[in-house]
């Protein structure tokens, strides 16, 4: 299959919408990461998504909508708080887990009776949904286990020859996936995956926000997961990633002692000179680190890195999402210095 690279022109989105209606897959830009889009209501189209990514069948897909009226067509028993959250954060990086209606096929929801729904903040994504007239299922467009794509080149690296088209909508502005929440009761939500909408943001709309312990800790054997995605290895480049937690001087000492062939460092902007190995930087504040993290992890593979020592981000604000992705990329290995 030849994977066509499309633009965000109205004519090209029309082509992409036809592909979606015909049960084909399209790489779709969003503000978080690129998604691998398919008609959420078509089981054979959704099956192609699982096959192209190599994704475990029990890991459900997020369904993307372009209009709030689509929400009531897809979900049941919607809590009042969900409408307030939608009002405040949509379009944007928030996914709400709700009880699903029967129109959502089991393959899309990974066999669960719930469905994650979000309205993306990218014109091309919403135009694709509107023009196809369909809710669009879209996991991140990476091969399962690899860092998520934040540029069309990343989508092409992972999906060229496997899907019908990729829409080049530029670099994703947020850079990490959406915040996934479930409802504990009408005024309490639980963050299952941290993202661009922070705990503090959510507290402006609901009384209580629980941060699920699985966000920063490895699940122990037999522990139940509230979100299937929590139990899989994730976001890992080919290189081995280690998070180094401690002061800058101690970080540099540790890395310099472990210098060798294929050893690299990922540091904050302006810190490259403290280490004697080759280093990339990933911004300084939480927003910038989120924006750059996946792209940097992919760059290390292009450089042929074998070991990457990462200066730990602050797990605050969107930094919680950055930390969550890195700790999974590192297989939960954190070195204290």
Q: Which residues in this chain contact ligand TXA in the complex, by CB under 6 A?
A: 30, 32-33, 35, 59-62, 93, 95, 97, 109, 112, 114-116, 120, 138-140, 177-178, 180, 192-193, 227-229
Nearest in space to 44 (alpha carbons), one of 135, 134, 108, 88 = 108
Nearer to Mg ion, 181 or 244 (CB): 181
140 part of the interface to Mg ion, by CB under 5 A: yes
Nearer to ligand TXA, 37 or 280 (CB): 37
Number of residues that bind Mg ion (CB under 5 A): 1
Nearer to ligand TXA, 32 or 42 (CB): 32
**Closest-CB residue for ligand TXA?**
229
User: What would the two tokens of residue 294 be?
Assistant: 């996946």
Instruction: Say which entry of Mg ion, ligand TXA, none residue 116 contacts (CB below 5 to 8 A, set by partner kind).
Output: ligand TXA
179 part of the interface to Mg ion, by CB under 5 A: no
Nearer to ligand TXA, 120 or 194 (CB): 120
Secondary structure of the chain as H, E, C letters: CCCEEECCCHHHHHHHHHHHHCCCCEEECCCCCCEEEEECCCHHHHHHHHHHHCCCCCCCCEEECCCCHHHHHHEECCCHHHHHHHHHHCCCCEEEEEEECCCCCCCCCCCCCEEEEECCCCHHHHHHHHHHCCCEECCECCCCCCCCCCCHHHHHHHHCCCCCEEECCCCCCCCCCCEEEEEEECCEEEEEECCCCCHHHHHCCCCEEEECHHHCCCCCCCCCCCCHHHHCCCCCCCCEEEEEECCHHHHHHHHHHCCCCCEEEEECCCCHHHCCCEEEECCCCHHHHHHHHHHHHHHHHHHCCCEEEEECCCCCCCHHHHHHHHHHHCCCCEEEC
242 part of the interface to Mg ion, by CB under 5 A: no
Nearer to Mg ion, 150 or 307 (CB): 150
Instruction: Say which entry of Mg ion, ligand TXA, none residue 237 contacts (CB below 5 to 8 A, set by partner kind).
Output: none
CA dist 239 and 334 (Å) reads 16
Q: How far is the CB of 156 from Mg ion (least distance, A)?
A: 17
Q: How far is the CB of 269 from ligand TXA (least distance, A)?
A: 25
Q: How far is the CB of 119 from Mg ion (least distance, A)?
A: 18
Nearer to ligand TXA, 184 or 271 (CB): 184
Instruction: Say which entry of Mg ion, ligand TXA, none residue 32 contacts (CB below 5 to 8 A, set by partner kind).
Output: ligand TXA
Q: How far is the CB of 235 from ligand TXA (least distance, A)?
A: 10
Instruction: Say which entry of ligand TXA, Mg ion, none residue 198 contacts (CB below 5 to 8 A, set by partner kind).
Output: none
Cα torsion angle, 91, 92, 98, 104, sign: positive
Q: Which part of the chain contacts Mg ion (CB under 5 A), choosing from 94-102, 133-141, 179-187, 319-327?
A: 133-141
Nearer to ligand TXA, 3 or 109 (CB): 109
Q: How far is the CB of 246 from ligand TXA (least distance, A)?
A: 30
Q: Give contact residues for Mg ion (rule: CB under 5 A).
A: 140
């Amino acid at each position: 299959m030849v994977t066509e690279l499309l633009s965000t022109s109205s004519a090209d989105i029309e082509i992409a919408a036809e592909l979606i209606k015909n049960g084909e897959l399209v790489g779709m830009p969003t503000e978080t990461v690129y998604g691998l889009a398919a008609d959420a209501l078509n089981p054979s189209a959704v099956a192609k998504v699982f096959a192209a990514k190599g994704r475990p069948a029990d890991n459900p897909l997020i369904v993307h909508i372009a209009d709030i009226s689509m929400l009531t067509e897809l979900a049941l028993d919607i809590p009042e708080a969900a409408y307030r959250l939608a009002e405040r954060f949509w379009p944007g990086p928030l996914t709400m887990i709700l009880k699903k209606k029967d129109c959502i096929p089991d393959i899309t929801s990974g066999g669960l009776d719930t469905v994650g729904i979000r309205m993306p903040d990218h014109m091309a994504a919403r135009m694709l949904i509107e023009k196809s007239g369909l809710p669009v299922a879209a996991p991140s467009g990476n091969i399962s286990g690899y860092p998520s794509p934040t540029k069309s080149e990343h989508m092409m690296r992972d999906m060229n020859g496997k899907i019908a088209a990729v829409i080049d909508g530029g670099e994703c502005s947020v850079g990490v996936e959406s915040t996934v929440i479930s409802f504990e009761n009408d005024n309490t939500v639980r963050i299952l995956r941290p993202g661009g909408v922070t705990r503090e943001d959510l507290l402006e709309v609901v009384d209580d926000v629980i941060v699920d312990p699985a966000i920063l800790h490895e699940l122990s054997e037999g522990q139940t997961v509230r979100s299937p995605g929590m139990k899989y290895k994730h976001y890992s480049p080919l290189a081995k990633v280690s998070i180094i937690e401690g002061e800058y001087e101690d970080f540099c000492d540790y890395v310099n002692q472990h210098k060798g062939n294929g050893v690299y460092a990922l540091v904050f902007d302006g810190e490259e000179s403290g280490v004697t190995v080759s280093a990339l930087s990933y911004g300084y504040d939480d927003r910038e680190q989120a924006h750059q993290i996946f792209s940097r992890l992919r760059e290390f593979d292009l450089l042929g890195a074998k070991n990457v020592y990462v200066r730990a981000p602050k797990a605050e604000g969107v930094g919680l999402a950055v930390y969550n992705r890195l700790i999974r990329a590192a297989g939960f290995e954190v070195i204290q210095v």
